[in-house]
Amino acid sequence: MHHLGLTRSSLKPDHLLQTPDAFVRTPLPGAERVEFVIHVGPQPGARFTQMTAEFTADGSLGPTPAQRFLYVIEGELELTAGDRKHVLAPGGFAYLPQGAPHTVRARDESRAAVIEKPYQCEAGAPGLDILVGDEAAKTSVPLLGDEALRVRSLMPDGPGYDFAVNTMTYEPGAALSMVEIHIMEHGLLMLEGGGIYRLGDSWYPVQAGDFIWMAPFCPQWFGALGKAPAKYLIYKDWRRHPLATPGGSA
């Protein structure tokens, strides 16, 4: 089946829209019975990597040289760290500090968003612990007072943490109140619904399953369309001086 070379996907110097029809799977070293859709990495200019891991039953992740954040989309993952085992169901998430020994194994067919970023440590910042949580247990907060646009912060905010991961849920018709232009870069996975994303000087129809990368300072705006809420998982680098180098100290 071909589509005469058409896709909504687009790569520009300051953003990427990657739609499921353009996904290509790849294995990664150390992982077993998992295929990865690598959404972004340093190659097009990102300073982190984001992928979707598609596990068959008993599939497991390999090691990472960076911090790792997991968000379960489908199925169930067992995270083992030290003598503790956690079971992550859809909406469950985990943060693994750089160098923290752990294993991740799927009980059944499962899918998870995986975000990895070299740690930019800050002098005097406290050592970080493994965190495990459930999105549904996090309080949602209106963005800039807009009750129709609610944000859940999955990561704690403190001097030790150099990135944030949030979910944002838009009621139909809700929109960002401004075109944002900021130093943080974003990795974004559409989880539900859809709408129009402005990226740079282009406007794209987007829907659940799509991935977006926004480079630092990429102009961005979103408005939700349709009869159901639109929801996305969004990563941003955070709390580090602009001159700090990735992987180095601030």
Q: Is 180 in the site for ligand UGY (CB under 6 A)?
A: yes
SS (H, E, C) the chain: CCCCCCCCCEEECCEEEECHHHCCEECCCCCEEEEEEEEECCCCCCCCEEEEEEEEEEEECCCCCCEEEEEEEECCEEEEECCEEEEECCCEEEEECCCCCCEEEECCCEEEEEEEECCCECCCCCCCCCEEEEHHHCCCEEECCEEEEEEEECCCCCCCCCEEEEEEEECCCCECCCCECCCCCEEEEEEECEEEEEECCEEEEEECCCEEEECCCCCEEEEEECCCCEEEEEEEECCCCCCCCCCCEC
Nearer to Mn ion, 122 or 180 (CB): 180
Looking at beta carbons only, is 61 or 143 nearer to Mn ion?
143
Phi/psi of residue 145, each to 5°? 80, 5
Nearer of residues 20 and 223 to Mn ion, judged by Cβ: 223
Q: Is 76 in the site for ligand UGY (CB under 6 A)?
A: no
Give the nearest distance from C-beta 164 to ligand UGY in angstroms: 7
Least separation in angstroms between CB 233 and ligand UGY: 11
The least distance separating ligand UGY from the CB of residue 182, rounded to whole angstroms, comes to: 6
Q: Minimal distance in Å, beta carbon 6 to Mn ion?
A: 29
55 or 235: whose CB is closer to ligand UGY?
Answer: 235
Q: How far apart are CA 174 and CA 86, in angstroms?
A: 36
User: Which single residue brings its beta carbon nearest to Mn ion?
Assistant: 180
220 sits near ligand UGY (criterion: CB under 6 A): yes
Query: Which span (43-51, 82-90, 100-108, 172-180) binds Mn ion, by CB under 5 A?
Result: 172-180
Using the rule CB under 6 A, which residue among 38, 40, 115, 234 binds ligand UGY?
A: 234
The verdict on 180 binding Mn ion (CB under 5 A) reads yes
Sites for ligand UGY among residues 157-176 (CB under 6 A)? 168, 176
Q: Which residues are near ligand UGY by CB under 6 A?
A: 168, 176, 180, 186, 220, 222, 234, 236
Q: Which residues are near Mn ion by CB under 5 A?
A: 180
